[in-house]
Amino acid sequence: MDLSSGPQNLNPTIYERTEERTVQASDYDNDASDEIDRREIFDLIRTINDPEHPLTLEELNVVDLDGVTIDNQANTVRVQFRPTIPHCSMATLIGLSIRAKLLYTLPSRYKVGVNIIEGAHIQENQINKQLNDKERVTAALENNHLRAVVNRCIIASDA
Amino acid sequence: MNCQTLIEKFVNDRDETVVNQLGQLLITKELTLVDFIVDIGDYLQSTELSKRSTALTLIGNILNHLPNTFLQSNEIHHLLVFIGAKMGDHHILAQPAVDLFRILAKQSTINDEDCVIMMKSIFSDVYVQSFPQASRYNVFVILLHFLLYRLDAVQQLGSDFVCNFIQAMDGERDPRNLVLCFQCLQYMTKYLDIEPYKEELFEVVACYFPMEYKPKATNSETEETITHEQLVLSLRNVLTSNEKFAQYCIPMLIEKLESDIPTARLAAMDVFIHCIEEYNARDITSYLVPLWNLFSKQALCAENQEIETSALRAITSLMQLIGKSIQNDETEISTKKFVDRSIRECENFLKELDLKLVWPATKVLHAVARANTTCSSLIWSSILPLLMKQFENLEQINHKRTILDMIIYFLQLPNIRTTIKLPSGIPEELWILISTHFQTYPSHCLSLIHNLLQLHAVPSQVLEDDLTKFILQDNIADELKIKLSAVLRMLASSVSFDRICTNILTNLIQSWTVTKTAPTNETLECCIDLCHNSERCQERLERFFFPSAQFIRLLPSLFKYLSPIYILTNLFTSLFDLLLTLIDHDQYAKIFCSKCASVANESCKTFVENFYQSNLLNDSIWQTDKQMNLLVIMYFIGSLKRQFFQNELEIIFNRINKKLLEQILNHSSNEIINIYCYFFGNLINKLSSKNEIIEQAQTIIKQCETSLDQVHIHLWIILVKALILSRPTMIEQYISTLILWMNEKTPIGDLACQSLKVLTNFDEQSLLLSSQTDCIIHPMVKQIIFMNILSKMKPFLTNNDLLPNQMNVLVDLLDNIPKSIIQNEIISLLPILIRALTLPNETVWSSSLNSICNLIKSEPNTIIDHIDTILPRLTALSTYKKDMSIRITSLQCLKYITSLPIHKLQPYRRHVIHVLKTCVDDHKRLVRRQAVDTQMSWCLLNA
């Protein structure tokens, strides 16, 4: 992956952010139980920063609510994302950041799948394979340099 | 002891007491100044340098002791000439000489010639910058003193002074001296002719711009340090003080604005914003366009909020500067040309709603419009039609919303709205836009109406119907209600909207009179909003007078428009029966009674007198069926102003105190007893200026102490609180008794703990014992009470067997106290708080966690020593099943702890992350949200 060259997509289109989730009365009721839903997963990943721009994945429309599916019975989560341009070299890094964020924050009972939306990237199959290979993801996150880059993407989210 | 020996003592032994003694001799005239100088003469002319220096120091120290009126004009002159000669003598002598100069300069009898001599001596005999800091400081103090009080003398030197001053301060680096220098310069640019040296003067100042200075941390608090802000401000004042600097200053600012360093750009914009008072646009004609380009670039591509705000302010200032100069269509400096330029540059961004530059461009244009009336009408007349056209053409709803937001934003002009009118045609179009889109975008339309009304645009007839329809619909969202209320109040307040206001009111009244139903709360609220007018309030109110609980809740907001006597005779009396049914359960009924009484003044004396004569002093009032009447009367009487009704209150107290006490001790309902007690406390507090009342109260308090049960302890604490509120020092008499009770392991202990809460709770709705009801509240009462209680509780804290109830009270207390009061205490109390978390008593956990959470947030380092105990406890509480707020707070604590140094946390990291894995799977979403936040902080600890 070539991280040193300048940004590839110099003038990306920027999308509006969704409003914060409204808190309902039932949210304060300790006895009612709230299942993890699509919106909650989306809230976890929408604040991830793009590696190139000072913008979040949501603002670049890389991820949206429709791209998230969750099945609480089968304990699976699937996230589909759309790189801003079809030859984006950052696609793997974005996918890795999404994986890392979900790895840190999602209960371990879920099996997570991260994919590129069909037809959104020229190397789609290759990248999907990389992202969903457990060993390769673990190895990538153990690489100090790569981990620092990924952490930078997911850390600034609450600042 | 004679003068000679004293002087010897000083010179040989450095005995400082000599200074005092000699000073006394001089003041009492036992020693004349001439004799003193003659006596010290030998030393002054000694061949040993150190003796000469010591002798000069002695003179300085003695004169410093004397009042500044002591010396005669001729004495000053001789001293001055002598010291002036010493200045050139040897550099070591220069320092005490400058000290002496400073003392002489401040003598009131010094004449202008001597001032000139002194200044010449300073400027010509010595090189100021070769002095140590303290002496340079003295020099600048002298010069500033002359500039402030001896301007005539300084003006005799004229521009020589300027030239010499530049030499004296050139190269100055000490912040303390710089602040003084800048002050001097400010006066010089104002009162002296700086023309010949203006460039040099500017250069000597400009080298400090932008000011970069970090104050050193001082060890002692007494040592005064110069802050960065102080330096920046004084430097800015010099740069912006004179229009002659403009031609040098503006190029410098442009250079800084082009730099990559954000602080430099901020500093440059700050100076520019403040220079427009003095500077003239014609001096800097050629720089106006570059300035505009730089500012608009800053505003459009600002890295952060601060730069954006400054850049926008700078744009406004630039337009104001341009607006100040004389201009017509031919001149190069023209407001119109610049407004056109701004529109040309920003217009395109306004059309691309998906791009990020929409708002920055809007803000730039708004900043231009804000400058003056010409700018705003030019911007309005070209931008508003454009936006309206765009609004009609766009299809996406969120785009339309953005356009509406922009229109609303353009119509907000905080400073000048009173004097300007919208360009003709525009308000009409906007009203049409509002009426066609009211249903779809109610929130935006309401804001727009509000802004238009503020600009005195008279609305069309359609607005009445729109608003009426809007009000009468069900379920208006809360945020819309606030906007609606603002619009209605705006309509009500001005005479020009009188017709619309009356029509809407009629429509609303019809909505319930025609159907013969009760008005809804919202409708009633709108009617009340429409009464907010100082002249027509009463008239409008009478049209729809509708007694109901809601009406009573809303009415007090109108009191400021009505006369006190009207409120009492027409409103209070006619609502009396309704109040009787509401008083025991409705908070607003209580507030209403109290508000009615608090407006009563001199003119209402007869009403009040009749009221209590016929109601309260009538014995039948104490019968059980009259209980509600009694409550209404209590809230009313308890809120009367001391200023007008002191005597009446005293009569009432004397007449009813026995009856009231009897009722308190014999009544069955706890709530009613509580109100009676507070009323009793209220009267005592208000009459506490009278000693006999205090004595009576103290007797009752004593009686309570003899028979300890719930009622007596309650009465005791309320009376004590009533007394303490007006005289906080009285707490010392009573607090030990309370602490004694708290120590008892009987129900009395629990009751006493409850009482302590009553004493320390100031938020509680104890209406009758508050400043709202005109009670005497000592301004420092909270601090005094808390400090007293804390000091008395200290022994408890060190002693380890704290009763659960005491722990409860203490932790609660800490949660309630304003943090600034216990800043120093809280750290010593931390072990207690942590222990509270391990107690089986669950009720204290929440308050204790809150206190700990605040502490960790503000000062994480205090927790370091306790980390071994607190971390396991927090992790355990973060999975506490029964209460989600405890889970959330402990997760918050865990998050704040991550700001500690990493080596402290490393041993626990694995375990904490492991526990958090279960928290992110919590069954409550809000807990999960906090858990995710905390989890991220722990996972990325060393990232």
Per-residue confidence (pLDDT) for residue B292, from 0 to 100: 93
Smallest Cβ–Cβ distance between B923 and the set A14, A15, A34 belongs to A34
Per-residue confidence (pLDDT) for residue A61, from 0 to 100: 87
pLDDT greater than 80 at residue B827: no
Helices (runs of H) and strands (runs of E) counted in chain A: 5, 3
Longest dimension (CA), chain A: 53
Q: Name the token pair of B136.
A: 């340079």
Which residues in chain A have Cβ-Cβ distances shorter than 8 Å to B929? 43
Smallest Cβ–Cβ distance between A105 and the set B923, B935, B943 belongs to B935
Per-residue confidence (pLDDT) for residue B798, from 0 to 100: 64
Which residues in chain A have Cβ-Cβ distances shorter than 8 Å to B943? 147-148, 151-152, 155
pLDDT digits (tens, 9 = 90+) for A85-142: 888 888 889 999 999 899 888 888 999 999 998 888 888 888 999 888 888 988 988 8
- Using the Cβ of B398 and the Cβ atoms of chain A, whether some distance falls under 8 Å is answered with yes
Chain B closest-CA separation from residue A43 CA (Å): 9
- Using the Cβ of B940 and the Cβ atoms of chain A, whether some distance falls under 8 Å is answered with yes
Per-residue confidence (pLDDT) for residue B368, from 0 to 100: 92
Smallest Cβ–Cβ distance between A155 and the set B355, B929, B940 belongs to B940
Interface test with A, best of B925, B929, B934, B939 (most A CBs within 10 A): B925
Segments forming the whole domain that contains residue B936: 818-942
Chain A closest-CA separation from residue B342 CA (Å): 24
CA distance B139 to B593: 68
pLDDT greater than 50 at residue A159: no
pLDDT greater than 50 at residue B369: yes
CA distance A126 to A89: 12
Per-residue confidence (pLDDT) for residue A6, from 0 to 100: 55
Q: What is the CATH number of the domain that holds B894?
A: 1.25.10.10
> Looking at chain B, which residue has its C-alpha nearest residue A106?
B920
Which residues in chain B have Cβ-Cβ distances shorter than 8 Å to A157? 936
User: Residues with Cβ < 8 Å from B393, sequence gap 6 or more?
Assistant: none
- Using the Cβ of A75 and the Cβ atoms of chain B, whether some distance falls under 8 Å is answered with no
Which residues in chain A have Cβ-Cβ distances shorter than 8 Å to B401? none
Strand arrangement, sheet containing A76-81: A68-71, A76-81, A111-116
Per-residue confidence (pLDDT) for residue B8, from 0 to 100: 84
User: Does B492 reside within a domain?
Assistant: no
Interchain CB distance below 8 Å, B923 and A33:
yes
How far CA B808 is from CA of A117, B172, B719, B754, in Å, comes to 57, 61, 24, 10
User: Does B853 reside within a domain?
Assistant: yes
Instruction: Tell which wins on pLDDT, B801 or B86.
Output: B86
Mean pLDDT in residue range B346-371: 87
- Using the Cβ of B921 and the Cβ atoms of chain A, whether some distance falls under 8 Å is answered with yes
Which residues in chain B have Cβ-Cβ distances shorter than 8 Å to A56? none
Chain A closest-CA separation from residue B812 CA (Å): 23
DSSP sequence for B189-220: HHHS--GGGHHHHHHHHHTTPSP---PPPPSS
Which three-class secondary structure state does DSSP give residue B15?
coil
Split at pLDDT 50, 70, 90, the class of A4 is: very low
Please tell me the total count of domains within chain B.
Answer: 1
> Looking at chain B, which residue has its C-alpha nearest residue A145?
B943
pLDDT digits (tens, 9 = 90+) for B568-581: 888 898 888 888 88
Matching residue, tokens 């996150």: A141
DSSP sequence for B237-289: HHHTS-GGGHHHHHHHHHHHHTSS-HHHHHHHHHHHHHHTTT--GGGGGGGHH
Which residues in chain A have Cβ-Cβ distances shorter than 8 Å to B939? 104
User: Does B823 reside within a domain?
Assistant: yes
Chain A closest-CA separation from residue B481 CA (Å): 19
pLDDT digits (tens, 9 = 90+) for B394-441: 888 888 888 999 999 998 876 655 567 788 888 888 998 898 888 888
- Interstrand relation of A68-71 and A76-81 (parallel, antiparallel or unpaired): antiparallel
User: Residues with Cβ < 8 Å from B802, sequence gap 6 or more?
Assistant: B796, B810, B832
CA distance B63 to B105: 12
Triad B5, B8, B9: Cα angle to 5°: 90
Closest CA to B851 of B837, B861, B864: B837
Interchain CB distance below 8 Å, A109 and B917:
no
pLDDT greater than 70 at residue B218: no
- Using the Cβ of B227 and the Cβ atoms of chain A, whether some distance falls under 8 Å is answered with no
Per-residue confidence (pLDDT) for residue B852, from 0 to 100: 83
- Using the Cβ of B397 and the Cβ atoms of chain A, whether some distance falls under 8 Å is answered with no
Smallest Cβ–Cβ distance between B940 and the set A28, A36, A151 belongs to A151
User: Does B935 reside within a domain?
Assistant: yes
User: Does B915 reside within a domain?
Assistant: yes
Split at pLDDT 50, 70, 90, the class of A7 is: low
> Looking at chain A, which residue has its C-alpha nearest residue B884?
A30
> Looking at chain A, which residue has its C-alpha nearest residue B931?
A105
User: Does B931 reside within a domain?
Assistant: yes
CA distance B464 to B455: 18
Is residue B804 classed exposed, middle or buried when 0-12, 13-18 and 19+ CB atoms within 10 A define those classes?
middle
Interchain CB distance below 8 Å, B883 and A30:
yes
CB B292, CB B250: distance < 8 Å: no
pLDDT greater than 50 at residue A2: no
Interchain CB distance below 8 Å, B939 and A104:
yes
Interchain CB distance below 8 Å, B920 and A107:
yes
Domains defined along chain A, listed by start? 35-156 (3.30.300.130)
Is residue A11 classed exposed, middle or buried when 0-12, 13-18 and 19+ CB atoms within 10 A define those classes?
exposed
Per-residue confidence (pLDDT) for residue B471, from 0 to 100: 86
- % of residues, chain B, pLDDT over 70: 95
- Using the Cβ of A48 and the Cβ atoms of chain B, whether some distance falls under 8 Å is answered with no
Interchain CB distance below 8 Å, A152 and B943:
yes
User: Does B860 reside within a domain?
Assistant: yes
pLDDT greater than 80 at residue B232: yes
User: Does B857 reside within a domain?
Assistant: yes
Which residues in chain B have Cβ-Cβ distances shorter than 8 Å to A49? none
> Looking at chain A, which residue has its C-alpha nearest residue B932?
A105
DSSP state, B518?
A: P
- Using the Cβ of A30 and the Cβ atoms of chain B, whether some distance falls under 8 Å is answered with yes
Interchain CB distance below 8 Å, B936 and A15:
no
Per-residue confidence (pLDDT) for residue B900, from 0 to 100: 86
pLDDT digits (tens, 9 = 90+) for B157-166: 888 899 999 9
Per-residue confidence (pLDDT) for residue B51, from 0 to 100: 85
pLDDT greater than 80 at residue B802: no
Which residues in chain B have Cβ-Cβ distances shorter than 8 Å to A99? none
Q: Name the token pair of A133.
A: 């290979």
Q: What is the mean pLDDT of chain A?
A: 84
**Global ipTM:** 0.90
Per-residue confidence (pLDDT) for residue A1, from 0 to 100: 44
Which residues in chain A have Cβ-Cβ distances shorter than 8 Å to B928? 36, 40
> Looking at chain A, which residue has its C-alpha nearest residue B883?
A30
pLDDT digits (tens, 9 = 90+) for B724-782: 988 888 888 888 888 888 877 778 888 888 888 788 777 655 778 888 888 888 888 88
CB B559, CB B598: distance < 8 Å: no
Q: What is the mean pLDDT of chain B?
A: 86
Helix A91-105 vs helix A144-155: angle between axes, to the nearest 10 degrees?
70
pLDDT greater than 90 at residue B182: yes
pLDDT digits (tens, 9 = 90+) for A30-59: 888 888 888 999 988 988 888 888 788 888
C-alpha dihedral, B497 to B499 to B504 to B510, nearest 10°: 160
pLDDT digits (tens, 9 = 90+) for B639-688: 999 999 988 899 999 888 888 888 888 888 888 888 899 999 999 999 98
Split at pLDDT 50, 70, 90, the class of B268 is: very high
Handedness of CA B555, B556, B562, B565 (dihedral sign): positive
CA distance B477 to B803: 49
Using CB atoms and an 8 Å cut-off, which of residues 119-138 of chain A contact chain B?
A: none
CB B449, CB B500: distance < 8 Å: no
Which residues in chain A have Cβ-Cβ distances shorter than 8 Å to B923? 33-34
Interchain CB distance below 8 Å, B943 and A148:
yes
> Looking at chain A, which residue has its C-alpha nearest residue B919?
A107
- Using the Cβ of A13 and the Cβ atoms of chain B, whether some distance falls under 8 Å is answered with yes
pLDDT digits (tens, 9 = 90+) for B527-559: 888 888 888 888 888 888 888 888 888 889 889
Closest CA to B719 of B772, B780, B769: B769
pLDDT greater than 80 at residue B332: no
Q: What are phi and psi of A53, to 5 degrees?
A: -115, 155
- Using the Cβ of B49 and the Cβ atoms of chain A, whether some distance falls under 8 Å is answered with no
Which residues in chain B have Cβ-Cβ distances shorter than 8 Å to A151? 940, 943
Chain B closest-CA separation from residue A5 CA (Å): 22
Which residues in chain B have Cβ-Cβ distances shorter than 8 Å to A154? 936, 940
Per-residue confidence (pLDDT) for residue B219, from 0 to 100: 59
Instruction: Tell which wins on pLDDT, B521 or B296.
Output: B296
